Structure 1
Amino acid sequence: MEDPRLTALNLIQQDKNYLDELWLKYWANGGSAGSVEFEGYLHGLTQPDSFDLQILHWAIDEVRAAAHPHQ
Structure 2
Amino acid sequence: MDTPQETAQHQISGGTTSVEKLWISYIANGGTAPPLVFEAIIYGALRCDGFDLQVLSLALRDRATGPQEF
The interval holding the TM-score normalised by the smaller chain is 0.7 to 0.9
- In structure 1, the gaps of 5 or more residues are 67-71
1:55 Cα shift? 0.2
- Alignment RMSD: 1.5
Inter-partner Cα distance in structure 2 for 1:7 and 1:40? 15
Runs of 4+ aligned structure 1 residues displaced above 6 Å come to: none
For residue 46 of structure 1, give the secondary structure of its aligned residue in structure 2. Answer: coil
Inter-partner Cα distance in structure 1 for 2:31 and 2:17? 19
Inter-partner Cα distance in structure 1 for 2:55 and 2:16? 20
- Residue 45 (structure 2) aligns with: 45
- Residue 64 (structure 1) aligns with: 64
1:2 Cα shift? 3.1
Q: State the AA in 2 paired with 1:13.
A: S
- Residue 14 (structure 1) aligns with: 14
Inter-partner Cα distance in structure 2 for 1:7 and 1:17? 11
Report which stretch shifted further, 17-26 or 28-37.
17-26
Inter-partner Cα distance in structure 1 for 2:59 and 2:30? 10
Which one has a larger percent helix, Structure 1 or Structure 2? Answer: 1
What is the TM-score normalised by the length of structure 1?
0.84
- In structure 2, the gaps of 5 or more residues are none
